[in-house]
Amino acid sequence: MEANIAIPSDGKNTWSGGGVRPFGASYGKMMMWFFILSDALTFSGFLAAYGLTRFKFIDSWPIADEVFTHIPFIHGEFPMYYVAFMTFVLIFSSVTMVLAVDAGHKMQKNKVAWYMFATIIGGLIFVGSQAWEWNTFIKGSYGAVKTTDGKVLQFATPKLDESGAKVLNADGEVIFKQVALADFVTGERMDAKETHSRKNGLWWVSGEKVPEYSVAQIMASYQANPSIQIRSEKIDMDKKQKVILSRAKGAEELAKGKMVVEGANLKVNEYGNTIFADFFFFITGFHGFHVFSGIVINIIIFFNVILGTYEKRGHYEMVEKVGLYWHFVDLVWVFVFTFFYLV
């Protein structure tokens, strides 16, 4: 028995079999909504897993304001400034996409092209910024020591004012700032030796990067510099800051040092709990892949607009469909930004 399929001649209603279109939407837009719904559930699962893991390790979770403090070409600490800039750019690109869709409804080809171009530029800035942030996160800024019992020890020194006096908080306690290994460790840098590469022999190709300093060098420099104190990965929940160990306790913990940690990877990171870096790479990487995919699709649609493809069809529904995807990507980043960076 053959099924009779009604194919409309206007090219706008692609639903087969006749009947009323659900919600007045075309087949293409409905499928896009189904995709967005399934992808939203995926991201929800990732963020829920992140939230539960962070709650489990709440007393040792890295503080985002101390991790994401960098701005390209500018030295200093600017907590969350660049991440906020990235977020603004992505949200603004969503505005230009709205304008492109609106221009498409009015059959204004040139405006659609210009707004699509602005959206693509915004996406490229965001992806480029995310790549820079990844590179900075992986390289690290300070360095730390990981002990045999899995603790990550960072180093800090009292914060000084312009007169050289120690800065105190409202309770009269000294405020500490994190200090890099290069600022107090003395002796020959390990990375001054020849870097292992393919030309040194194939057995070096899979070797790990050599740390700049050894644990022994760090221990000797710590003992020789009384102004340096060790900062635990544990957080004082009342003060919302990392616990500063006494000199004696710091020396005791440092004696358990197993390896020097510089930057971050999937095995260990200088910021604290290892799972923090795992979630960072996975969640921001997965979202970055979505943005990159959206840019590629937008570029294809952009050239179709230039070629007049949608003028010939008599509608810009394809722009509207890719717009739905782009708005979804922007909305997901708002949640990632809120739960990963701000909370």
Mean pLDDT of residues grouped by 10 in the chain (343 residues)?
46 50 72 93 95 92 91 88 96 96 94 97 97 95 92 91 80 85 80 52 54 87 92 85 90 92 92 92 96 96 94 92 96 94 88
**CB within 8 Å of 293: residues ≥ 6 apart:** none
Residue 115 and residue 56 share a domain: yes
User: How open is the CA angle 78-137-341, to the nearest 5 degrees?
Assistant: 55
Distance between CA 22 and CA 15 in Å, rounded?
9
Q: Is residue 174 in a domain?
A: yes
CB 303 within 8 A of CB 322: no
Residue 149 and residue 136 share a domain: no
The pLDDT score that the predictor gives to residue 192 is: 46
Question: For 39-60, what is each residue's pLDDT tens digit?
Answer: 999 999 999 999 999 999 998 8
Please give the single-letter amino acid code of residue 69: T
According to DSSP H, which parts of 187-284 are helical?
Answer: 215-224, 247-254, 274-279
Q: Is residue 321 in a domain?
A: yes
Four-residue CA torsion sign, 109, 114, 117, 118 = negative
* Model pTM score: 0.84
Q: Is residue 17 in a domain?
A: no
Residue 256 and residue 152 share a domain: yes
The pLDDT score that the predictor gives to residue 343 is: 82
Structure tokens that stand for 334 in this block: 């708002």
Among 71, 76, 249, smallest CA distance to 153 is for 249
User: How far from each other are the two terminal CA atoms of the chain, in whole angstroms?
Assistant: 60
Residue 120 and residue 53 share a domain: yes
Q: Is residue 322 in a domain?
A: yes
Residue 235 and residue 201 share a domain: yes
**CB within 8 Å of 185: residues ≥ 6 apart:** 213, 217, 218, 221
Residue 206 and residue 175 share a domain: yes
Residue 154 and residue 256 share a domain: yes
Domain end call among 214, 234, 262: 262
Residue 280 and residue 258 share a domain: no
CATH number of domain containing 67: 1.20.120.80
Torsion of CA 269, 275, 278, 282, to 10 degrees: -150
Q: How many domains is the chain built from?
A: 2
Q: Is residue 220 in a domain?
A: yes
Residue 131 and residue 40 share a domain: yes
Residue 151 and residue 118 share a domain: no
Domain end call among 207, 235, 262: 262
DSSP conformational letter for 59: T
Q: Is residue 336 in a domain?
A: yes
Partners of 264 in beta bridges = 269
Environment class of 323 (CB within 10 Å of its CB; exposed 0-12, middle 13-18, buried 19+)? buried
Give the residue numbers spanning the domain of 49: 27-140+276-342
Q: Is residue 6 in a domain?
A: no
Distance between CA 36 and CA 215 in Å, rounded?
49
Residue 299 and residue 222 share a domain: no
Q: Is residue 3 in a domain?
A: no
DSSP conformational letter for 168: B
The pLDDT score that the predictor gives to residue 16 is: 53
Distance between CA 147 and CA 198 in Å, rounded?
31
Domain end call among 262, 288, 303: 262
Q: How far is CA 89 from the centre of its chain?
A: 15
Residue 242 and residue 319 share a domain: no
Question: For 180-230, what is each residue's pLDDT tens digit?
Answer: 998 898 876 665 445 555 555 544 455 556 677 889 999 999 999 999 999
Among 42, 224, 96, 216, smallest CA distance to 145 is for 216
